[in-house]
């Protein structure tokens, strides 16, 4: 199954300024598979070492002599390592914190070696005392399958070619097919194991079974990695997210997790989930203007889970509500559609905020900044009323308003409406 991040790996391989690589991503998003696939396709040999399964590697980093470490990697993997033609992969690197530190010395003293590491963000971001090699590594983020990657996995090349032609107005003739596939994506989501099963079996009940197993595995990870004093709170925050997103106002409310609670009660638990890559924290900005970073309100935020399909499983949404009825699009107060749009924006590495005005009911679902600032309204239906978007634009005509909805592509004098199935394609092409 092709991943768009493969193209970034190729750019890394061919870069004249290449540094050791960290492939970031939450557990079970496909990091190991992608690095192996890349290595075997693009290099003469691959020296793969799983740091969680080989005790020898855990004793290897007695110092940071890169010549010695290369000999150790070669001995453990059974592969003769050659600069430029061998990809060294250290998997589950969080189990050997000194291995992260070693990347600094490969950058400085052995730049001809191609070395990539992967590991759960549960370990990489949270582990203390690792001596993280700031400025000495390249990093690529891997997320669950985007909608476009889902189409690629299903072999929908003709639809993808049409999307990539960027003839936005002409895509209305394909909207029925794309919306039906989007409906499937809402249910399946983008976790690789789930997508693979769906492609092979077309069994929606097996899909939910695998999603539930992933959720079970995550809870086991909680027990393994989370400090005991905040473990109950991590579980409470995780369990509260569907209800938080089902509210009309999706701002995270601490008292909705536990009556009477405040920020200080749960902020460590929330940060743990963010660091683990299992939730996305979308901060509020108090003003829709450049630079958005100036207007961050770190006390107000929304929380989303890492994958749309897992949100469905976590919420116990019935398959017929997604695949047969129109419930996932029209009900749940837009929770699934906002989750979907956020995932699409994250998949192309956008920094995403939301905007609300002080002492006002005005609120916009998301807002992003490139050269211009783009306020975003998300509509789960074809309803094209956008009062908040228009009021925001009237306050600042330099903004570039965007509405993502089920309606066909259309440009108005002050905004553009983009079909939901084109979110990431349009943003990458036009912003």
For residue range 360-404, list pLDDT tens digits in order.
889 999 999 999 999 999 998 766 678 899 999 999 999 999 999
**123 confidence band (pLDDT: 50, 70, 90):** low
Residue 127 has what pLDDT? 47
- Give which of 287, 283, 286 is closest to 396, Cα–Cα: 287
CATH C-level class of 5-141? alpha beta
Is residue 130 predicted with pLDDT exceeding 60?
Answer: no
For residue range 180-211, list pLDDT tens digits in order.
999 999 999 999 999 999 999 999 999 999 99
Instruction: List 291's β-bridge partners, or say none.
Output: none
Is residue 46 predicted with pLDDT exceeding 90?
Answer: yes
The backbone torsions φ and ψ at residue 119, rounded to the nearest 5 degrees and listed phi first, read 180, 165
* Domain map (residue ranges) of the chain: 5-141, 147-430
User: Across all residues in the chain, what is the average pLDDT?
Assistant: 93
Buried b / exposed e over 282-303, threshold 16 CB at 10 Å, is bbbbebbbbebeebebeeebbb
Q: How far is CA 136 from the centre of its chain?
A: 23
pTM of the model: 0.93
Average pLDDT over residues 23-34: 95
DSSP 78-110: T----TTTEEEEEESGGG-HHHHHHHHHHHHH-
- Give which of 277, 246, 405 is closest to 341, Cα–Cα: 405
For residue range 59-91, list pLDDT tens digits in order.
999 999 999 999 999 999 999 999 999 999 999
Average pLDDT over residues 248-262: 92
Residue 207 has what pLDDT? 97
**122 confidence band (pLDDT: 50, 70, 90):** low
Residue 128 has what pLDDT? 45
For residue range 207-226, list pLDDT tens digits in order.
999 999 999 999 998 998 88
For residue range 146-164, list pLDDT tens digits in order.
999 999 999 999 999 999 9
- Give which of 143, 161, 152, 64 is closest to 305, Cα–Cα: 143
Buried b / exposed e over 85-96, threshold 16 CB at 10 Å, is ebbbbbbbbbbb
Residue 320 has what pLDDT? 77
Residue 329 has what pLDDT? 61
Q: How far is CA 59 from the centre of its chain?
A: 33
């Amino acid at each position: 199954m092709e991943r768009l991040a493969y193209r970034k790996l190729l750019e890394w391989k061919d870069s004249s300024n290449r540094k050791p690589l960290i492939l970031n991503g939450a557990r079970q998003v496909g990091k190991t598979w992608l690095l192996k696939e890349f290595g075997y396709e693009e290099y003469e040999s691959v020296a793969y070492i799983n740091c969680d399964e080989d005790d020898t590697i855990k004793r290897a980093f007695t110092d940071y002599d890169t010549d010695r470490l290369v000999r150790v990697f070669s001995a453990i993997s059974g592969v003769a390592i050659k600069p430029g033609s061998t990809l060294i992969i250290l998997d589950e690197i969080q189990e050997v914190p000194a291995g992260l530190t070693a990347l600094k010395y490969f950058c400085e003293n052995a730049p001809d070696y191609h070395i990539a590491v992967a590991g759960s963000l549960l370990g990489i971001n949270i582990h203390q005392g690792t001596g993280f090699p700031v400025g000495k590594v390249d990093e690529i983020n891997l997320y669950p399958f985007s909608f476009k990657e889902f189409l690629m996995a299903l072999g929908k090349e003709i639809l993808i070619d049409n999307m990539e032609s960027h003839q936005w107005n002409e895509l209305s003739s394909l909207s029925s097919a794309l919306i039906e596939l989007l409906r499937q994506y809402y249910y399946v989501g983008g976790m690789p194991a789930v997508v693979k099963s769906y492609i092979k079996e077309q069994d929606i009940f097996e899909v939910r079974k695998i999603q539930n197993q992933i959720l079970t595995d995550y809870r086991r990870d909680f027990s393994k990695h989370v400090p005991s004093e905040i473990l109950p709170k991590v579980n409470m925050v995780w369990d509260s997210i569907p209800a938080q997103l089902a509210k009309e106002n999706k701002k995270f409310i601490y008292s909705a997790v536990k009556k009477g609670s405040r920020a200080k009660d749960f902020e460590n638990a929330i940060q743990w989930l963010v660091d683990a890559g299992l939730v996305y924290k979308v901060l509020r900005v108090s003003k829709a203007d450049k630079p958005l970073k100036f207007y961050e309100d770190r006390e107000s935020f929304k929380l989303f889970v890492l994958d749309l399909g897992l949100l469905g499983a976590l919420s116990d949404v019935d398959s017929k509500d997604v695949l047969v009825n129109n419930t996932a699009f029209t009900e749940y107060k837009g929770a699934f559609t906002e989750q979907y749009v956020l995932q699409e924006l994250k998949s192309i590495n956008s920094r995403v905020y939301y905007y609300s005005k002080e002492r006002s009911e005005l609120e916009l679902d998301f807002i992003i900044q490139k050269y211009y600032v783009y306020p975003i309204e998300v509509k789960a239906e074809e309803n094209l009323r956008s009062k908040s978007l228009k009021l925001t634009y009237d306050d600042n005509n330099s903004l570039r308003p965007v509405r993502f909805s089920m309606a066909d592509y259309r440009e108005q004098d002050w905004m553009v409406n983009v079909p939901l199935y084109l979110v990431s394609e349009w943003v990458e092409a036009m912003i």
